[in-house]
Chains A and B, each alone.
Chain A
Amino acid sequence: MTRAQQHISLGLLLSSVYLSCSLGLIPLPSKIQDEVIPYLPFWVIVSFGAYLLFKLGLGVFTFNDVPDAYKELMGQIDQAKTELRAKGVSVD
């Protein structure tokens, strides 16, 4: 089973559960049915966005500078630019 198949099957499972809940096929206390179920997809989207932002912020916060790798990378970029210019590709 590929990763895509796994993700798609999980997504189908969750959406079928949510669909059955929102169509009233499962008897739920009316408070939950009317007030919580309609907001669940938006809650999922908002929390996914918050999780991504959290992960980004954590990565930015705990990133350490590496000056040697920076010099090496800049050198490699210049080398690649000169080689491409020699072959006729327009660079910058």
Chain B
Amino acid sequence: LDQLVGLAMLVVASVVFLYYTIWTLLMPFVDEDHPLQSLFLPRVWAIRIPVILILLGSAVVGSFLSVVMIRSNRKKALKAKA
């Protein structure tokens, strides 16, 4: 099962890298009426998606950190009282 997970991670990483590289570095040089353009979203999204993911990721990491810290402080306070 874990081999499957590893393989899936490999494939996802390669697909994401190839798509993003072609999107940002090659599409500017492709004419507007080439059929390849239909595979790619409008280029503004090439900046929006990473920014949104970074913000979401830092929000998740920050909330996890704060929950753990609050929980440990509460435990320390309980222990000090008892």
Contact = CB atoms under 8 A, between A and B. Distances in A.
A50 B13 contact: yes
A42 interface: yes
Interface in B26-64: 28-29, 43, 46-47, 50-51, 54
Q: Is the interface of B mostly helix, strand, loop or mixed?
A: helix
A89 interface: no
Interface of A: 31-32, 35-36, 38-40, 42-43, 45-47, 49-51, 53-54, 56-63
Q: Is the interface of A mostly helix, strand, loop or mixed?
A: helix
A60 to B, nearest CB: 3
A61 B28 contact: no
A36 B25 contact: yes
14 contacts: A31-B28, A35-B43, A39-B46, A39-B47, A40-B24, A43-B21, A46-B20, A46-B50, A47-B20, A47-B21, A50-B17, A57-B7, A57-B13, A63-B6
A61 B9 CA distance: 9
B58 to A, nearest CB: 13
A51 B28 contact: no
Contacts of B47: 38-39, 42
